[in-house]
Amino acid sequence: MRMRALFDNIQTDVRHAVRSLRRSPGFAAVAVLALAVGIGGNTAIFTVIDATRAQALPYPEPHQLVYLIGNVRRGVVERRGASYPDFLDWRAQATRFEDLAAFDPQRMTLAGLEEAERIDTEFVSASYFSLLGVRPALGRTFRADEDDVARPTAVVVLSDAVWKRRFGSDSNIVGRPTTLNGQPFTVIGVMAPRFAGVSDEAQMWIPFAMYAPQARMANRGGRSFTVLGRLKPGVTMTEAQTEMTTIASRLERTYPTSNEARGIEVSPLVTELFGPLRLALQLLMAAVGFVLVIACANVANLLIARSEVRRQEISIRVAIGAGRGRLLQQLVTESCVLSLLGATAGLLLAEATVGLLMTMSPVTFPRMVTPALDMRVATFTIAVSLLCGIGVGLAPWWQTRVDDLSRRLSESARGSDGPRSQRLRDTLVVAEVALAIVLLVGASLMIQSVRKLAAIDPGFDASSLLTLHVSVPRVTSAPTGTLGGQTPPPPAVKGAELLERIRAVPGVITAGLGNDVPLDGNAGAGFYVAEGHGTFTAENRPRAWVHSVSADFFAALRIPFAAGRTFRDNELNPDSRVVIVSDRVASRFWPGQDPIGKRLKFGAIDSDVPWLSIVGVVREVRYRNVTADLSSDPDIYIPFADRNSQIAFAIRTSVPPASVVTAVRAAIRAADPSIAIYGVAAMGEQVRAQSSQARFTTWVMGVFAAIALWLCALGIYGVTSYAVTQRRREIGIRLALGAQPRDVLHTIVGSGARLIVLGVLIGTVASFALRRVVSAQIVAVPLTDPAAAVALVVFAVVGLAACLVPGVRATRLDPVRALHQA
Query: What is the rounded distance in angstroms from the CA atom of residue 627 to the CA atom of residue 226?
Result: 24
Instruction: Output the CA–CA distances (angstroms, integers) from residue 32 to 14, 39, 339, 795, in the order listed.
Output: 16, 10, 7, 25
Query: What is the rounded distance in angstroms from the CA atom of residue 788 to the CA atom of residue 740?
Result: 37
How many C-beta atoms surround the C-beta of residue 629 within 10 A? 16
| Confidence band of 784 (pLDDT split at 50, 70, 90) | low
Q: Lowest mean pLDDT: which of 1-15, 329-343, 551-565, 689-703?
A: 1-15
SS3 state at 185: strand
User: Does pLDDT of 599 surpass 80?
Assistant: yes
Q: Lowest mean pLDDT: which of 177-186, 329-338, 458-467?
A: 329-338
pLDDT, greater one: 80 or 814 = 80
Query: What is the rounded distance in angstroms from the CA atom of residue 704 to the CA atom of residue 716?
Result: 18
Q: Helices in 559-642 by DSSP H: which ranges?
A: 583-589
pLDDT of residue 485: 46
User: Does pLDDT of 161 surpass 90?
Assistant: yes
* Count of residues in the chain: 822
| Confidence band of 415 (pLDDT split at 50, 70, 90) | very low
| Confidence band of 787 (pLDDT split at 50, 70, 90) | low
Query: What is the rounded distance in angstroms from the CA atom of residue 49 to the CA atom of residue 406?
Result: 52
| Confidence band of 774 (pLDDT split at 50, 70, 90) | low
Instruction: Output the CA–CA distances (angstroms, integers) from residue 780 to 248, 742, 777, in the order listed.
Output: 36, 45, 8
Phi, psi of 653 (to 5 degrees): -120, 160
| Confidence band of 338 (pLDDT split at 50, 70, 90) | confident
pLDDT of residue 463: 92
Q: What confidence tens digit (pLDDT) does each residue in 200-237 have?
A: 889 999 999 999 888 889 999 888 899 999 999 999 99
Q: Which of 546, 474, 556, 551 is nearest to 516 (CA)?
A: 546
Q: Lowest mean pLDDT: which of 64-68, 182-186, 237-241, 691-695?
A: 691-695
Using CB atoms within 10 Å of the CB of residue 753, give its burial: 0 to 12 exposed, 13 to 18 middle, 19+ buried. Answer: middle
pLDDT of residue 38: 87
Q: Helices in 637-691 by DSSP H: which ranges?
A: 661-671, 683-689
Q: What confidence tens digit (pLDDT) does each residue in 634-654 have?
A: 999 999 987 778 899 999 999
pLDDT, greater one: 113 or 748 = 748
Query: What is the rounded distance in angstroms from the CA atom of residue 4 to the CA atom of residue 10?
Result: 10
Query: What is the rounded distance in angstroms from the CA atom of residue 310 to the CA atom of residue 165?
Result: 70
Alpha carbon 722 to chain centroid, angstroms: 44
Amino acid of residue 193: P
Torsion, Cα 505 507 512 515, to 10 degrees, reads -70
| Confidence band of 54 (pLDDT split at 50, 70, 90) | low
pLDDT, greater one: 56 or 567 = 567
| Confidence band of 604 (pLDDT split at 50, 70, 90) | confident
**Contact between residue 578 and residue 616 where contact means Cβ atoms under 8 Å apart:** no
pLDDT, greater one: 675 or 791 = 675
Q: What confidence tens digit (pLDDT) does each residue in 659-674 have?
A: 999 999 999 999 988 8
| Angle at alpha carbon of residue 56, lines to 54 and 57, rounded to 5° | 75
Q: What confidence tens digit (pLDDT) does each residue in 11-24 have?
A: 776 777 777 777 77
Using CB atoms within 10 Å of the CB of residue 781, give its burial: 0 to 12 exposed, 13 to 18 middle, 19+ buried. Answer: buried
What is the pLDDT of the chain when averaged over all its residues? 83
| Confidence band of 335 (pLDDT split at 50, 70, 90) | confident
Q: Which of 465, 466, 467, 470 is nearest to 678 (CA)?
A: 470
User: Does pLDDT of 409 surpass 80?
Assistant: no
**Contact between residue 511 and residue 552 where contact means Cβ atoms under 8 Å apart:** yes
Query: What is the rounded distance in angstroms from the CA atom of residue 398 to the CA atom of residue 304?
Result: 9
User: Does pLDDT of 481 surpass 50?
Assistant: no
Q: What confidence tens digit (pLDDT) does each residue in 84-109 have?
A: 999 999 999 999 999 999 999 999 98
**Contact between residue 822 and residue 415 where contact means Cβ atoms under 8 Å apart:** yes
User: Does pLDDT of 402 surpass 50?
Assistant: no
User: Does pLDDT of 416 surpass 50?
Assistant: no
User: Considering Cα of 213, then 217, then 222, then 228, what sign does the dihedral take?
Assistant: positive
**Contact between residue 547 and residue 648 where contact means Cβ atoms under 8 Å apart:** no
Exposure on the CB side of residue 189, measured as CA atoms within 13 A: 17
Query: What is the rounded distance in angstroms from the CA atom of residue 197 to the CA atom of residue 101?
Result: 13
Query: What is the rounded distance in angstroms from the CA atom of residue 131 to the CA atom of residue 205?
Result: 15
User: Does pLDDT of 822 surpass 90?
Assistant: no
Torsion, Cα 183 188 190 196, to 10 degrees, reads -50
Amino acid of residue 446: M
Instruction: Output the CA–CA distances (angstroms, integers) from residue 412 to 43, 396, 408, 420, 819, in the order listed.
Output: 41, 15, 6, 14, 17
Q: Lowest mean pLDDT: which of 271-280, 402-411, 564-573, 790-799?
A: 402-411
User: Does pLDDT of 815 surpass 80?
Assistant: no
How many H-runs (helices) and E-runs (strands) does the chain carry? 24, 22
pLDDT, greater one: 742 or 323 = 742
Using CB atoms within 10 Å of the CB of residue 551, give its burial: 0 to 12 exposed, 13 to 18 middle, 19+ buried. Answer: middle
Exposure on the CB side of residue 719, measured as CA atoms within 13 A: 32
**Contact between residue 752 and residue 720 where contact means Cβ atoms under 8 Å apart:** yes
Mean pLDDT of the 699-713 span: 83
Give, for 360, the enclosing helix (H) or strand (E). helix 324-360
User: Does pLDDT of 403 surpass 50?
Assistant: no
Phi, psi of 520 (to 5 degrees): -90, -5
Instruction: Output the CA–CA distances (angstroms, integers) from residue 813 to 415, 633, 819, in the order listed.
Output: 18, 74, 10
Q: What percent of the chain has pLDDT over 70?
A: 86
SS3 state at 117: strand
pLDDT of residue 319: 60
Give, for 263, the enclosing helix (H) or strand (E). strand 262-268
User: Does pLDDT of 406 surpass 50?
Assistant: no
Query: What is the rounded distance in angstroms from the CA atom of residue 696 to the CA atom of residue 284?
Result: 10
